[in-house]
Chain A
């Protein structure tokens, strides 16, 4: 910087100032760039944050606890590395200082122009978060929220979120999806800068102080871990852990895990899900279910009374019905009996008729046979009579002949002819002289009487 800018139109310097100049800023910026580029090229390390890309360049910051550098790298150089550093990653850079001097219409900027990059490991911030998480866990502060009862159907919901963030609309969408339209208390708070954590904690405490608040949603959209770092704040996490109402956290995208997610009662991937977790009940479905349950209760109530009334009526009617049942049974049996008797009578009538027919036929046959027999008898009688008459005549004739024969042999007739019968005194016929001598006396029978005669030579 040898003197004022060319052209001679440089303004006068500050009176009394011992410093050289004034110089035109463009010339000074150019000299600054040269000076910075003349710095020794080195390797530096730190945590990579706020990574973003443009068409030609990638930008990020390198940080540690004592300071930070804005960094830039040609995109072609970066893509060649094939790495995908996440926020908080420990990296080593090679490169040197650079300065874009800007112009009348563009802003200047300083950057550490990296020509190479190596990912070295987990960053301090992540390690710090992890240490804090372990500490809270050891103190048992990850648990209290998990044990708080969460109402199925909260009437009043508190929401802590950024006033202009998209998370607000997402929460409303989730509540609408549940059919929930109760009372909502918005606790708007910054959700990104270094003042965010105390404000969020204060909003949570204020909401919890309202007795009607049943549950609180803490919602924030996606961002880098540095953006979300407020939700890893120790004081905030301790506040959440000891809050009397359950807190439902939805911070960042589902890949991010902040400490508030660990201490909250429930952590959700999106504000919409957080709203649905806050109202566990689908209100419209619950209304329909309640209607069904009401109908069932009414039906049970009515049925309980009606059934028993019917039972009582039935019991009252039971004796009469018993008698009527028996009467019906008796009538039935009577009908069956009659029918049976009728069937049997008909059957027997048939049998009798058949038998009568048979008997008549037999009678007719017998009559016919009798007639025939009588005729036969008559015929036989006639024949017999004829035969008998013939026999009688024959016998008469025989008799007459025998009479004649007998008459011929009649001793009387013989006696009439001069013969006599000789008998002993005993009446026995004497047919020989011997017998006559022996007898001594004989009886002589003539045709006209007896004469006793002594046998003379009886002595001989």
Chain B
């Protein structure tokens, strides 16, 4: 699961407004955006902002799907632990 953080709120400077983005949050927000756009109630400015936000979220989701669609990568825990014990190497597997 990615821990990408993007600004979900309107205040670009507020760290408190930044929330951890997950696939479910992103896809849920995309559905909200599309519901809002489908309602036809959003004005031009809001529509363009929602579309831009939606595109960012779609890119994020596409990245998440891409990450689990590149091909199964199988690792062994014992090897990772051994590597850690050998010299304090990062037990985390290298990015695929």
Contacts and interface: CB of A to CB of B under 8 A. Distances in A.
Contact of A301 (B47, B62, B92): B47
Contacts of A283: 65, 68-69
B78 A188 contact: yes
A187 B23 contact: no
Contacts of B58: 290, 293-294, 297
A153 B92 contact: no
A182 interface: yes
A185 B93 contact: yes
B8 interface: no
A185 B76 contact: yes
B70 A181 contact: yes
Interface string B14-46: 000000001110010011011001100010100
Contact of B72 (A158, A181, A188, A300): A181
A183 B65 contact: no
Contact of A188 (B64, B70, B77, B93): B77
Contact of B67 (A155, A184, A206): A155
Contact of B69 (A172, A179, A184): A179
Nearest to A308: B44
A289 B7 CA distance: 24
B65 A286 contact: yes
Interface string A224-255: 00000000000000000000000000000000
B62 A290 contact: yes
A151 B44 contact: no
A85 B13 CA distance: 68
Contacts of B37: 296-297, 300
Interface stretch (A209-217, A320-328, A422-430): A209-217
Contacts of A181: 68-72
A300 B47 contact: yes
A184 B1 contact: no
Interface in B42-60: 42, 44, 47-48, 50-51, 54-55, 58
Interface in A248-301: 279, 281, 283, 286-287, 290, 293-294, 296-298, 300-301
A290 B71 contact: no
Q: How large is the interface on B (under 10, 10 to 19, 20 to 34, 35 or more residues)?
A: 35 or more
A304 B77 contact: no
A180 interface: yes
A206 B1 contact: no
From A175, A203, A210, A279, residue with most partner B Cβ within 10 Å: A210
B73 A155 contact: no
A373 interface: no
A206 B79 CA distance: 11
Contact of A297 (B34, B42, B78, B96): B34
B81 A186 contact: no
Contact of B33 (A188, A279, A297): A297
Nearest to B2: A155
Nearest to B46: A304
B91 interface: yes
A96 B34 CA distance: 78
Contact of A214 (B1, B47, B62): B1
A153 B1 contact: yes
A48 B73 CA distance: 44
Contact of A152 (B27, B71, B76): B27
Contact of B74 (A186, A281, A293): A186
B12 interface: no
Contact of A184 (B2, B22, B74): B74
Contacts of A197: none
From B44, B50, B81, B96, residue with most partner A Cβ within 10 Å: B81
Contact of A296 (B34, B71, B76): B34
A179 B65 CA distance: 10
A207 interface: yes
Contacts of B68: 153-155, 180-182, 279, 283
Nearest to A300: B37
B55 to A, nearest CB: 6
Contacts of A156: 1, 93
Interface of A: 151-156, 158, 172, 175, 179-188, 203, 206-207, 209-212, 214, 279, 281, 283, 286-287, 290, 293-294, 296-298, 300-301, 304-305, 308
11 contacts: A152-B24, A155-B64, A181-B72, A185-B93, A207-B77, A279-B68, A293-B30, A297-B37, A301-B47, A301-B51, A305-B48
9 A-B pairs with least C-beta separation: A182-B68, A301-B51, A187-B77, A304-B47, A151-B1, A153-B23, A300-B37, A181-B72, A297-B54
Given A151-B23, A297-B37, 10 more contacts: A151-B1, A153-B68, A154-B1, A184-B74, A210-B93, A211-B92, A212-B92, A214-B1, A286-B61, A304-B44
